[in-house]
Amino acid sequence: MSMSRRKFIQNSACLSATGAIACSPNTSSGAGFVGSEKIEKPLFIATWPFGKFSCEAAVKIATDSGSMLDAIEKGIWVTENDVKNASVGIGGIPNANGQVELDACIMSGPDHNAGSVAGIQDILHPISVARLVMESTPHVMLVGEGAKQFAIKNGYPETNLLTAQQKSNWENWQREQLKKSKQSQPKIDEEHHDTIAMLGLDAEGNLYGGCSTSGWGYKIPGRVGDSPIIGSGLYVDNQVGAAGATGLGENVMRHCGSFLVVEMMRQGAQPTEACEMAVNRIAEIDPKNLGNLDINFIALNKQGHYGAAGTSKGFKYSVSSPAGSQVLDAKAMSAKTIGPEGGNRK
């Protein structure tokens, strides 16, 4: 395929003095590593600016220990431990009954293995329990009380995940719902949802991924979104690439969104293009219009090219390697502005 003069100039301009993170992704398109420059590994990308801290931790862990699964797991710990983040781990927004329910999954590309937990309560690191499911059971997914008891049996202590601030917010939300409606089931808040999805590539070209969230704020108890569902919130194919999602999980789940992104890369699309194609495919089928879908994807291929796209303006993603870190703008596919990062109101 011939390269346009514009793309040749753009790629040439991306070369860095270090030759490591050699091409800063175009912040207007969200594309990264579109040329054949040297790519320094391990390389990690994650959803949202808060993902930068997780990616940086993952780079250090992978560099020090050589374990990419450790890097994915413990990199995500950084976000799960952040009480200021209202969409992941401790401090996450509870369900309509005031209980914090967490979802997570992890995938290993070389053996195409996966583990997942959903609706787990009182366990600080659901990503670790998901990895334990993957590595020590014949199953892929455990849910609810079963997942919790499995975690406790394997040495994970019970932890109160509902912070004083989130408890106060939930009590205020309950009062607001009672004023607005006498329905038996309060209306859930569509602005309160987010996820950390992280993808990693090692020096041998192997791919890994993980995802963790507290889900839709004030959701109906027992609701599970896309994040722990393999092929929806996360998918890794070691022959092709990996993808992760954030946004309104129901709109990702109904279309197997992350799997769709990877399949677009299999057909030859670069990561940002693959994310765009997946969003357009979903928009063609879904009765909601593009601006109301509220879905965003990140993608990383086996060559180390990465990118992101979403239905609204304002979605950002993070990239880290031994050469450094950056937060980048994803390609926006409508004029609608995305909600606050991390499930927090501004």
Q: CATH number, domain at 257?
A: 3.60.20.30
Is 118 domain-assigned?
yes
Q: At residue 19, does pLDDT exceed 80?
A: no
Q: At residue 142, does pLDDT exceed 90?
A: yes
Helix, coil or strand: residue 318: strand
Residue 216: name the closest of 178, 173, 280, 168 by CA.
173
Across 121-149, average pLDDT: 98
- Residue 210 tokens read as 């993980």
Is 13 domain-assigned?
no
Could you tell me the residue range of the domain that residue 109 belongs to? 40-337
Is 342 domain-assigned?
no
CB 1 within 8 A of CB 34: no
CB 296 within 8 A of CB 47: yes
> Would you name the residues annotated as active-site residues?
195
Q: Whole-model pTM above 0.85?
A: yes
For the chain, what is the domain count?
1
Q: At residue 6, does pLDDT exceed 70?
A: no
Is 7 domain-assigned?
no
Q: How many Å apart are CA 55 and CA 321, to the nearest integer?
A: 8
Per-residue pLDDT band for 49 (boundaries 50, 70, 90) equals very high
Is 181 domain-assigned?
yes
Q: At residue 193, does pLDDT exceed 70?
A: no
Is 16 domain-assigned?
no
Q: What's the pLDDT score for residue 10?
A: 39
